[in-house]
Amino acid sequence: MTRSRARVIVEEAAVAERVAAVLDVADFERNDERNDERSDVTIVSHGRLDQAGDSTGPMVVLCKGTGRRAALELIASKALRYMVPVDDRLEDALLTILGKLAGADLFGLDRYVRHGGLLRTWTAEDSQAKARILREIGARAQRLGCPQLIADLFLSAIDEMAINAIERHIRAQLGPIEIVAAAEVGRFAVAVRDRVGQLRPEHVLGSLVRGGAQKAAGMALDASSAQLGFRIMFDTLSTLAINVERGRRTEVIGVIDLGKSLREYRDTVPGFGCFVNETPE
């Protein structure tokens, strides 16, 4: 099997070094000098995006110091599918995305809590079950040392992840959805899984585009609330990852990184990944 190839367009030498180390571990070959040949992935700093226009393959954007709002605007305006914040978790986040892009299984929380473990799995078929699970997740967050308001933000995101999935399951008469929690030191993650596999990246990114319009002009009374739901996820999570096996299943993963003040948390560049496996139907 040939090694996957990555083109790297990164301005800061220190960051470039860190990226090179990750490429080694992920068994990627660098492809910088041969831009006429196909790259399997391009890794680019957000400040160098204009140089990546001729790149082939998926583009992973490394984002540093812009704040959350500008990072989300960038995702919306460029329809970015993969963003990695340049912070002390860069290596893990990049390794996760590269592994999935190179063909590893897209699904699972283990790639987001590499140094921790599974806490609990629940099933939810309706709003009552969801409310009970959210209470349990809130209590877990507190035990992990998560400040109350950040825990509330996390629960808001999980509420949106879950209600979307429950509604899809009710429509398709598929029974309960699955909710899974995992943790490691300084990190708490929850996955919501359905067996529908309908979610489309355009819809997820559309929530950011439409979000700007609703902020300025208001929400139409007949608008769908689902896009507002994704807007909430983007605004309240440290990392949002969406895995779709078209026609089969969806997994939405929300992660919070602990140890920040609310203000810092709200201003942090989020990690984002939207992975779609198109094959089955």
Partner 1 sequence: MLERLIEKRPDGRTTVMLSGFIDETADLEALLGDVEGEIALDLSAVQRINSIGAHRWIITLARLTAHRRVTVEAVPYSVGMQANYVANFFARAEVLSCLAPYACATCETSTNLLIHRDEVSLRAPTRWCKRCKNELVFDELDGYLDFLVRNRS
Site residues (CB under 8 A) for partner 1? 69, 127, 131, 147-149, 152-153, 155-156, 159-160, 163, 211, 214-219, 221, 223, 225-226, 228-229, 231-232, 235-236, 261-263, 266-267
Instruction: Report the C-alpha gap between 255 and 135 in whole angstroms.
Output: 17
* Closer residue to partner 1 (CB): 236 or 239: 236
Residue 155 CB, nearest approach to partner 1 (Å): 7
* Closer residue to partner 1 (CB): 230 or 275: 230
Residue 145 CB, nearest approach to partner 1 (Å): 12
Instruction: Report the C-alpha gap between 217 and 203 in whole angstroms.
Output: 20
Per the CB < 8 A criterion, the answer to whether 62 and 49 are in contact is no
* Closer residue to partner 1 (CB): 59 or 256: 256
* Closer residue to partner 1 (CB): 14 or 217: 217
Residue 172 CB, nearest approach to partner 1 (Å): 18
Per the CB < 8 A criterion, the answer to whether 251 and 198 are in contact is no
Residue 272 CB, nearest approach to partner 1 (Å): 18
Residue 237 CB, nearest approach to partner 1 (Å): 13
Residues in the chain: 281
Sheet hosting strand 59-63, strand order edge to edge: 28-30, 4-9, 41-45, 59-63, 82-85, 271-277, 239-245, 249-257, 187-194, 177-184, 117-124
Instruction: Report the C-alpha gap between 47 and 53 in whole angstroms.
Output: 13
Residues 6+ apart with CB under 8 A from 56: 38, 39, 42
Residue 48 CB, nearest approach to partner 1 (Å): 27
Residue in the structure block whose two tokens are 């997994």: 251
* Closer residue to partner 1 (CB): 104 or 223: 223
* Closer residue to partner 1 (CB): 160 or 251: 160
Residue 226 backbone phi and psi in degrees, to 5: -65, -40
Q: What is the Rg, in whole angstroms, of the alpha carbon atoms belonging to the chain?
A: 19
* Closer residue to partner 1 (CB): 8 or 208: 208
* Closer residue to partner 1 (CB): 22 or 134: 134
Residue 185 CB, nearest approach to partner 1 (Å): 19
**Helices (H), ranges, the chain:** 13-26, 67-78, 90-101, 127-143, 148-172, 201-217, 226-236, 262-267
Residue 160 CB, nearest approach to partner 1 (Å): 6
Cα distances (Å, whole numbers) of residue 11 to 17, 46, 77, 104: 11, 10, 22, 29
Instruction: Report the C-alpha gap between 175 and 153 in whole angstroms.
Output: 27
